[in-house]
Amino acid sequence: MIKRRNASELERAVALLESGDWRAAHEIVQRDEDSRLSCWAHGIVHLMEGDTSNARYWYRQAKRPFPGEPLAAKEIDALKEELARRSA
């Protein structure tokens, strides 16, 4: 289970990613570089930005394989599922 405060911030960042506001999401996720989920979200931010090399770095930090087909929408959905699973 993840800490509620961190989870709510990350949920906010995910909502911003879904709406296409990767800049605002970046402001949130860059504050928590210790959480693998935040690092994953950080990687998604850079996917959306078009900075693949930086996205790969954050996926490594998250201990996640970089997607063979890096589609931000699919990654956001997967992150939302993982957040829901860990919050339960």
pTM of the model: 0.90
Q: What is the pLDDT of residues 53-74, one digit of tens each?
A: 999 999 999 999 999 887 999 9
Over residues 8-28, mean pLDDT: 95
> What distance in Å separates the CA atoms of residue 37 and residue 39, rounded to the nearest whole number?
5
Q: Decide: 47 and 32 in contact? Cβ < 8 Å.
A: no
List the domain boundaries for the chain. Answer: 4-87
> What distance in Å separates the CA atoms of residue 8 and residue 45, rounded to the nearest whole number?
17
Residue 1 has pLDDT above 50, yes or no: no
